[in-house]
Amino acid sequence: MIERLYFRDLVTFNEVELSFNKGLVVFTGPSGAGKSVLMSAILSSFGYSTQGAANLCEVTVKKPSKLKSEAYELADELTIRTLKKEKLRYFLEGQNISKKGLTELFSPYVQYLSVRDKSGFESDKLVSMLDSSLLTRDKNFKKLIKEYKKRFENYRVKSQALAKIKEDEAKLAELIEYAKYEVEKIEKINPEIGEDESLMQVKKQLSHMDKIKDALVDAMTLFSAESAVQEVYKLLDKDTSVFTDMMNQVRADFEETEHLTSELEEMDIEEILDRLSDLTALQQRYGSIEEALAYKEKKKKELLGYQNIEQDKSMLESFLSMEYIELSTLARQMTNKRKDEAKTLATVIEKYLVTLKLPKLSFIFESQTLDLDGADNVDIHLGDSKTTTLSGGEFNRLRLALMASTIDEKSEGVLILDEIDANVSGDESIAIAQMVKKLSAVYQVFAISHQPHLSAQANQHLVITKDGNKSQVIELSEDGRIHEISRIIAGENPHNEAIEFAKKLRS
């Protein structure tokens, strides 16, 4: 419930402060006085429109019982403030809030019906309406829809996974071919860690082999003096063991060198150079032998993963095929319950339609591709007419009838009606007034009216007038209400019959 409205600097209004009652609040006044401008101040406070917003506007709202938010602290009485400078900014209890956040928070509790707006009968909203009615009294439907939604969400995730695999299939073949090529290339060379260093040493030795052999021949003359040196040591009575050990080591080294030169002579220098070239190519590509071997193992794992992807694809296709059958069965059960509920609702709403001078209503079900709500595309026909072909007046009377037929003691919030009774006949005006009055028993209803019947039903009647280029709003007393209703009936100078009729409407 909106308890208070304050704004300043809004088109032809300087400053306005109003307190509102429960039930039906009606705005009347001459054309062009500023009724729609005043209503825009309320609408913009809940994010419905940024046109016609005041420089400063404050709305005090009694918090709906079910309104909750994790992002904002909500007291039992809430203040929504809008400030317009370069742009319109919104504040909830002094906390910054976006227009989108404000709308999402209050849209379940503040509904706006305009003769220019033909929304509200989209398939998803009709399905939601039928489901809401079913959920309040059918535990089996509650379990059914809960199971369906849970399984459909899983089905959707799996479908997306399969679609991604199929999308990547062409790339997958290339990736598999590339991974195989990389693994085979490294395995063909089959490098060993440290092998390059050993081969470089061999290469170096090969390049010096002739010099080593020549030097070795010259150095062999050393052994011809070995016995003479030993004899000198003996004559001098000195220990020969150090010299003997040294000569034995030299002999062993020379023998090893002779063996090495023999091996080197048997080696294929071209083969060694080719091997070094292959290892160098790997090092240039991967950084080192170690990195090349690690890369090979990585590609092997990728190949195993690609094989798993193929298996995953097969498993996903099998799962989705079976799950679609199960979901279709659940969706058919939901459809059957919705159709039964639609028949019940059509029967309930019929009396309201008769009152509103509208033909019989029927719900039209068509099958569609499964989505989160099942397989139902739902439309409404009013007599032989689709909702898209209804006039603005017919459309809004139908919306009123639906709202009246679905309200209960748990319903709450604010209903804003913009010229809901414009351009209708007397009988239709009476019916609309009765319907709005019924709704005002559970909703706080704000309505701009040009008809006496709705104005007469108001719990609070506010008149907007304009003097020159300045507008003002006044809450009417009972005498003031009689005068204003008679003005609506007969014009600025109402005759006695109009006044008497206004009194009758108010009695």
Domain boundary among 287, 308, 329: 308
Q: Does 363 fall in a domain?
A: no
Which amino acid is residue 497, in one-letter code? Answer: E
**CB-based burial of residue 243 (10 Å sphere; 0-12 exposed, 13-18 middle, 19+ buried)?**
middle
Q: Does 494 fall in a domain?
A: no
Rounded alpha-carbon distances, angstroms, from residue 103 to 38, 44, 126, 179, 387 = 19, 10, 21, 53, 26
8 Å CB contact between 37 and 78: no
Rounded alpha-carbon distances, angstroms, from residue 433 to 72, 122, 398, 417 = 38, 26, 14, 12
Indicate if 275 and 207 belong to the same structural domain.
yes
Q: Does 362 fall in a domain?
A: no
Indicate if 181 and 54 belong to the same structural domain.
no
Domain boundary among 274, 308, 342: 308
Indicate if 201 and 302 belong to the same structural domain.
yes
Domain boundary among 273, 308, 343: 308
Q: Does 189 fall in a domain?
A: yes
CATH code, 61 = 3.40.50.300
Cα separation, 144 vs 324, in Å, equals: 16
Angle 51-57-60 from CA coordinates, rounded to 5°:
125
Indicate if 190 and 298 belong to the same structural domain.
yes
Q: Does 243 fall in a domain?
A: yes
Indicate if 91 and 184 belong to the same structural domain.
no
Indicate if 174 and 304 belong to the same structural domain.
yes
Q: Does 34 fall in a domain?
A: yes
Predicted confidence pLDDT, tens digits, the chain (507 residues): 999 999 999 999 999 999 999 999 999 999 899 998 999 999 999 988 766 678 999 999 999 888 888 888 888 999 999 998 888 899 999 899 999 999 999 988 998 887 677 777 889 989 998 998 899 889 999 999 999 999 999 999 999 988 888 877 767 777 778 888 888 989 888 888 888 888 888 777 777 777 888 888 888 888 888 888 888 888 888 888 888 889 889 888 888 877 877 777 777 778 878 888 888 888 888 888 899 899 899 888 888 877 777 777 888 999 999 999 999 999 999 999 999 999 999 999 998 898 888 999 999 999 999 999 999 999 999 998 888 888 877 888 888 888 888 787 777 899 999 888 877 788 888 888 989 998 999 999 999 998 999 999 999 999 999 999 999 999 999 999 999 999 999 988 888 999 999 999 998
Number of domains making up the chain: 2
Which domain covers residue 273, as residue numbers? 170-308
Indicate if 299 and 174 belong to the same structural domain.
yes
Indicate if 112 and 178 belong to the same structural domain.
no
Q: Does 392 fall in a domain?
A: no
Indicate if 180 and 297 belong to the same structural domain.
yes
Q: Does 90 fall in a domain?
A: yes
8 Å CB contact between 261 and 213: yes
Indicate if 107 and 4 belong to the same structural domain.
yes
Indicate if 64 and 177 belong to the same structural domain.
no
Q: What is the DSSP string of 378-391?
A: EEEEETTEEGGGS-
